[in-house]
Structure 1
Amino acid sequence: MLVLGAALFTALLSQLAVAVPGSPVPITGQTLAVMLTAAALGPLRGMLGQLTYVLLGAVGLPFYSRGASGFEQVLGPTGGFLVGFIPAAFLVGLAARRGLDRSAWKALPLFVAGQLAIFAVGVPWLAVVARFDFATALQKGFVPFIPGALVKATIAATLIPLCWRLWRPREE
């Protein structure tokens, strides 16, 4: 149920989408969902949640940005970002398991690194599929997303440590 919940949460936040002029990649809430669910569920469940998200969208559920779905989305220019959610969730979950998500100052670099993992898969994929040179792929698939990635990392770095503090059993 937790894995399916992570997939559904990512699908929900994927609907928060804004087109980026000149880029096939929209700004979405997906990466925030990846960071939050991975930190909350750990490496295996976090990764399985994102794998489930990608697979359910690929088989036709309207899970991707603006209700898109299908294998053509995964194989298309933005597919690398979707696939990048899987290793990013594993890495963020692994770091969270080691307690790097317990304070905002430790969590912020963790969530920035998680988003960089997504870009590390997505940008080269964009370059290959869209037949862009690497500089163009960076301009269309990375540079416009830096401010949003930092905002989403800050939101996650604020929420996750707060949740851990609220969840901690109180001593009586």
Structure 2
Amino acid sequence: MQPDAIAAIVEQWKRERPDLDATPMLVVGRLFRLTDALDQRLRPPFGAAGLGSGDFDLLAALRRAGEPYVLSAGELSRTVMVTTGAITKRVDRLEARGLVARTVAEADSRGRLITLTTEGVALTDELIAIHLDNQRRLLAGLSRDEQADLADLLERLALTLTSGED
């Protein structure tokens, strides 16, 4: 097996700075490269459906919420981990396409609720099936046990990186 670009970089650092341990790059560097590679392979179906970056995430968050598929902008912001300003832009685009609708919150007339429309549910259901098939295809080089081990390791890494965050 030939070393990948990250392994080659680590070898170069070993040669140039043998006093430093560059092996963390084998994980972090590969995670960065994989993030880009996965994004390039996962986004085309959303683009083909006319969705911008992050639009599907918002639709999926509403769909996962269950009937009646309604969340506030704040709830969406926390769920998809972007600012409420980014949520507003996404909702504007999706509302213009008839995939979501805004309503005034009964409890607070300043608040807005975002609802997935019938068309939004249908598109989200279609795209999630494609998305999951795509993910399965991308992970096919790993056995189910390897996928489970990797998922566990990534969860542990995520917990160490987020411990102490509010």
User: Could you tell me the TM-score, scaled by structure 2's length?
Assistant: 0.29
Larger Rg: 2
Q: Which has the higher contact order (CA 8 A, sep 6+)?
A: 1
More strand by share: 2
